[in-house]
Amino acid sequence: MIPLPELLAEFMVGLGAALFGANLLVLVRSRRPPGRDRPRRPALTSMTRVYTSMTVGALVALWGLAALLRQR
């Protein structure tokens, strides 16, 4: 059985990494010019929201990683 603190730390790492990675993908895809075969995507409403979400995701992932390393 996995102890609850370790499970919570692993969940934090996964959730933070997913939040960071998803917003990084949004940032990269918004910078690419539309091609002939790709439809035009709507413009992002707020780049500040993307950067804020990336920062929060990175902090949560680092916090969870620090908790995992501290337990071992």
Note the pLDDT tens digit of each residue in 11-68.
999 999 999 999 999 888 877 776 777 666 677 778 899 999 999 999 999 999 999 9
For residue 55, the Cα-to-chain-centroid distance in whole angstroms is 8
Q: What is the pLDDT of residue 30?
A: 79
Contacts of 46 (CB under 8 A, 6+ apart): none
Instruction: Give the max Cα distance, the chain.
Output: 53
* Whole-prediction pTM: 0.81
Short-list 17, 22, 24, CA closest to 63: 17
CA distance 51 to 8: 25
What is the torsional sign of CA 41, 45, 20, 24?
Answer: positive
